[in-house]
Amino acid sequence: MTAREVTVERWWWYLTPGPAQLETGLACLGVGMQRGVLPTVGPRTLDHWVAVVITSGRGWYESPDGVRHPVTAPAVLWLRPGEPHHYAPDAEGWSESFVDFTGSGLAGYAELGLLPPLRLTPLTTAEPAQRVVARIASACRRGGPLVDVESSAEVHRLLVELRRHRADVDVAGEPVLEVLRRDACLPLSIAQHARRAGLTVAELRRAVRSVGAAGPKEYLLTVRLNEAKQLLAASGLPVAAVARRVGYQDPAYFTRIFTRRVGMAPSAFRAQQYRGEGQPYGAARQERATGGPGRATG
């Protein structure tokens, strides 16, 4: 055994998720850890994603255009399917954990900002990601019928933690989101929201996207619809009043927006989810019209 081999510590497990797990849109294919003076990886190309979390040490990563970029822990190398990659630690070695994953749902994860367009992202800390890797490894050691479900659920958590602890995200965007959340249900345009935050519309969009949200319009819509659902489920307010409470002066427009996004009309959502006391607005009238419990007797 050579001195180089003595300096290397490594372990890994690989999984073969079945069709049912793949149908969920996210599947873990493997997990591992390597520490020491590791060999150069690539150039090679894979058919799935890999998150390589560098927990200590330094090295380099060569992008597909042939440019080498320095890597300093803590950081993540994102190996993308169908894209060649090439990387290695320096002469002192490094420590890395890796998780292989795939799935049809990854386009949505990218849209949510959990799979960044960058191939190398710095981290403020790698410890939360390491805890997730340890849980995936534990699931693999246990095995059994739930290993694919458990490990894939942890991949979801891994992507969240890696996004949460990115060091290149502009934290100045967080207060902007707080202002938008506070004012979301006011009947304001995007330009008016920007002025209340002391920004131009372009600055508002950049600030919101810098923290992973799709954009101010989408963010405001999500906050409004969440509040509308709360009101529909817990209050007896008529739909028109709910619409005004969440910033829509035109109830018909609110109903169209709600229906398109939620998949059912506000009244149908209330019929399914109402948890308030007594009957919600219009329920007794509807029951009388349909011969239900509220029907008058002669």
Class of domain 3-164: mainly beta
Q: What whole-number distance in Å separates Cα of residue 152 and Cα of residue 20?
A: 12
CATH 2.60.120.280 region(s) of the chain? 3-164
DSSP letters for 187-204: S--HHHHHHHTT--HHHH
pLDDT tens readout for residues 72-85: 999 999 999 999 99
Q: Where in the chain is the domain with CATH 1.10.10.60?
A: 173-280
Q: What pLDDT is attached to residue 64?
A: 86
Which are the contacts of 217, defined by CB distance < 8 A and separation ≥ 6?
190
Using CA of residue 153, residue 158, residue 159, residue 163, what is the dihedral sign?
A: positive
Instruction: Classify residue 116 by its DSSP letter.
Output: -
Q: What is the pLDDT of residue 176?
A: 80
Tokens of residue 233, six digits: 């489920």
User: How far is CA 6 from its chain centroid?
Assistant: 40
* Residue 69 to residue 151: CA distance in whole angstroms: 31
Predicted confidence at residue 219, as pLDDT, reads 87
The pLDDT tens digits for 146-174 are 999 999 999 999 999 999 898 876 655 67
Report the C-alpha gap between 44 and 50 in whole angstroms.
Answer: 13
**Among candidate residues 163, 202, 160, 199, the one with its CA nearest the CA of residue 179:** 199
Burial class (CB in 10 A: 0-12, 13-18, 19+), 190: middle
Alpha-carbon distance of 204 to 135, in angstroms, equals 38
Q: Looking at the DSSP assignment, which residues form a beta bridge with residue 120?
A: 77
Which one, of 163, 89, 92, lies nearest residue 123 by Cα? 163
Superfamily of structural domain 173-280: Homeodomain-like (1.10.10.60)
Strand ranges (DSSP E) for the chain? 9-14, 27-36, 41-44, 49-62, 68-72, 75-79, 85-102, 120-122
| 144 touches 64 (CB < 8 A) | no
Supply the pLDDT for residue 278. 58
Tell me if 65 sits within 8 A of 85, measured CB to CB: no
Cα distances from 105 to residues 20, 30, 136, in angstroms, run 14, 18, 20
- pLDDT tens sequence for the chain (298 residues): 444 444 789 999 999 999 999 999 999 999 999 999 999 998 999 999 999 999 999 999 998 888 999 999 999 999 999 999 999 999 999 999 999 999 999 999 988 888 988 899 999 999 999 999 999 999 999 999 999 999 999 999 999 999 989 887 665 567 788 888 889 999 889 999 888 888 888 888 888 877 666 788 888 999 999 999 999 999 889 999 999 999 999 999 999 999 999 999 999 999 999 886 655 555 544 433 334 433 332 2
